[in-house]
Structures are given as C-alpha cells and as structure tokens.
Chains A and B, each alone.
Chain A
Amino acid sequence: KQEVTQIPAALSVPEGENLVLNCSFTDSAIYNLQWFRQDPGKGLTSLLLIQSSQREQTSGRLNASLDKSSGRSTLYIAASQPGDSATYLCAAGGGNTPLVFGKGTRLSVIA
C-alpha cells in the first residue's frame, strides 16, 4: 500500500529565501509524482507533474525532482514571495491508479 509523507509539516521563511519541500513515498512503482498548491478552503492547483521516466520538471521559480529508486521528490521554490504562502501537497500515482497524497507542508512567507 502506497504511503506518502511530507516533511516539514509547516515552514515559515522570510521573503526572498530559497526553500525545499520534501516528499517521500514507499512504493516506487508509480507513473507520476504530482505537486499541488492549496489555498485555505480552496481546491488544488496542479503545479508540476513528473512522469516516472523523468528526473525533474521546471515552471518559473519552481523546480521539482524525482528519484524513484530512493522514493523521494523535492519541490524547490526560488526567491520566495508572500504570495507563495499556501499548503503544498505531493501525490504519487497516475495511470489507472489513484493519487495517494501526503498531508502537505504549510508554507508561510513573511514580508
């Protein structure tokens, strides 16, 4: 059974800092690793999807990496801004298997 863990549970940083969010998963037989952003009380916004054959994906100030052999993914946020404050969720799955989510990392960027 797939289990996804995210560390840390919460993070507070000053504006401008670069930061890394961590995600680990127990079953490496995944098709995708997907990172989402969730604002309070809202739905999920897909940030990046890494297919199992890929090592990383980039979008603007965001970079996500995937190491299937070690069961790990990281989300790197460069030059953080107060607007980046949200909960970040990672999910493993894809194909015909459902997404299994971690509990998320709650990020606060202080101006």
Chain B
Amino acid sequence: ETGVTQSPTHLIKTRGQQVTLRCSSQSGHNTVSWYQQALGQGPQFIFQYYREEENGRGNFPPRFSGLQFPNYSSELNVNALELDDSALYLCASSQSGRTNEQFFGPGTRLTVL
C-alpha cells in the first residue's frame, strides 16, 4: 500500500509569482484535503476535494485554488504569492465516510521571498 506523496519537497518563489503543489492520495482513498501550517502553528484547513469537486473550504482567499483528478490525485495552486504564504503545505487523503481518518503526506515547504 502506497502512502500519501507530495511534490516538490521544497520550493522558493518570489512575491507575485504563482505556484502549483501536487499530491498523490493513498491507494483506495477518494478524498483529499489541503492544510497550511505556519511555523509554530497547527495546520489550518484550506479546502477538501471529493470526486473531483470542492467539498468544503476554509478561510482562504480565492487565489488559493485546487483540482482533483480522476485518479484522486490533487493540485493546490496559489496565485499572486505573498510573504505570508510561506509555510508547510500538507495534503491528507481519506476514504469518505463517518470515520474519515486522514493520512498525511510529508508536506511541501514553500518559501516566498
């Protein structure tokens, strides 16, 4: 069984640029959630995708957008990067249902200069 994978591991961008982060869900999982974790903080929910549709969104501006593909992998896109977007971006996959235990990938460390 393959776990959740994310790419790239690290990324450095400058203000105003755009970035795409990728996530492959664990085998058998159909739901992907994205979280942003600033230094010293707990992860904050960005949005969730289920069957290629956005299925809930946290308090993040529209320049944060995403996609889910038929194989349940997912992308997080951030436009017009700001310094405060520097964080660890975590992807979690789960099988929809009441339990919905979430399994996290290793994260992508984004630095915005």
Check A96–B55 contact: CB distance below 8 A. yes
Q: Which residues of A contact B40 (CB under 8 A)?
A: 103
A83 within 8 A of B: no
Check B99–A32 contact: CB distance below 8 A. yes
Taken residue by residue from 80 to 111, chain A's Cβ proximity to chain B (1 for < 8 Å, 0 otherwise) reads as: 00000000010100111111111110000000
Nearest Cβ on chain A to B36's Cβ, whole angstroms = 11
Check A99–B101 contact: CB distance below 8 A. no
A44 within 8 A of B: yes
Nearest Cβ on chain A to B16's Cβ, whole angstroms = 26
Check A41–B104 contact: CB distance below 8 A. no
Given contacts A98-B56, A103-B42, contact A31 B90 (CB under 8 A): no
Nearest neighbor of A45 in chain B, beta-carbon distance: B104
Check B42–A104 contact: CB distance below 8 A. yes
A76 within 8 A of B: no
Q: Tell me which of B62-70, B71-79, B105-113 binds A.
A: B105-113
A: which residues have CB within 8 A of B? 4, 31-32, 34, 36, 41-46, 49, 51, 89, 91, 94-104
